[in-house]
Structure 1
């Protein structure tokens, strides 16, 4: 009997890519916590903790999403025509751009 899908292909690579992205976001948030306090003061803690919280939440969402997709692919009926949506990439992209803009504006506004 042949397997329904190759378990080493796209779902696992996608899940690993999302995990790397979330971990990079987490690392960037922690670096911001170290670098931004002289510039933003107490706001840097809020910005960094928001990034850390979002990274942890996204890691849990990515894990649940991977398990759901794996279960769908393992069913004999095959995958439905539409499995997921684009809210996860949009949320991560929007928040990363927002945090980057806030940090960049703050750093560039320093008067020497």
Structure 2
């Protein structure tokens, strides 16, 4: 074994699991945004588009993040002298996307309840 991981498979598995997570959150956001925007045609098109673009950005950031991680692990060898994890931009953007889903859904529920 030439590094502190199992021949490159661990970063690949982590990248694939993040991709599945981002795709699931993106699909859920697009569906929710489409549902929330039914009463307003502009929101019905704009919100899913924003969700889709956000998901694509997260996928790109994730791919770059795990490529950097793999390169840093390979460069560090079997005994890294410092942490090799890249930044947390992807995690922060995913959390922001989930927060926006929650806030939008709550606003939709409150507005719908007040109309009745």
Question: TM tier, shorter chain?
Answer: 0.7 to 0.9
In structure 2, distance between residues paired with 1:49 and 1:76:
40
Gaps of 5+ in 1: none
Alignment partner, residue 9 of structure 2: 8
47-56 or 26-35: bigger deviation: 26-35
> In 2 relative to 1, CA 39–81 (structure 1 residues): closer, same or farther, beyond 3 Å?
farther
Q: Per-residue CA shift, 1:17-70, capped at 9, x if unaligned?
A: 210111012211321243122244422422221111010011011111111111
In structure 2, distance between residues paired with 1:12 and 1:80:
23
Count of residue correspondences? 110
In structure 1, distance between residues paired with 2:70 and 2:2:
13
State how 1:1-112 maps to structure 2 within 5 Å: 2-4=1-3, 5-6=5-6, 7-9=8-10, 11-75=11-75, 77=77, 79=80, 81-82=82-83, 83-110=85-112, 111-112=115-116
Alpha carbons 1:15, 1:62 under 8 Å: kept:
yes
Gaps of 5+ in 2: none
TM-score by length of 1: 0.79
The offset of 1:3, in angstroms, is 2.4
**Aligned-pair Cα RMSD in Å:** 2.2
Higher relative contact order (CA 8 A, sep 6+): 1
Alpha carbons 2:22, 2:55 under 8 Å: kept:
yes
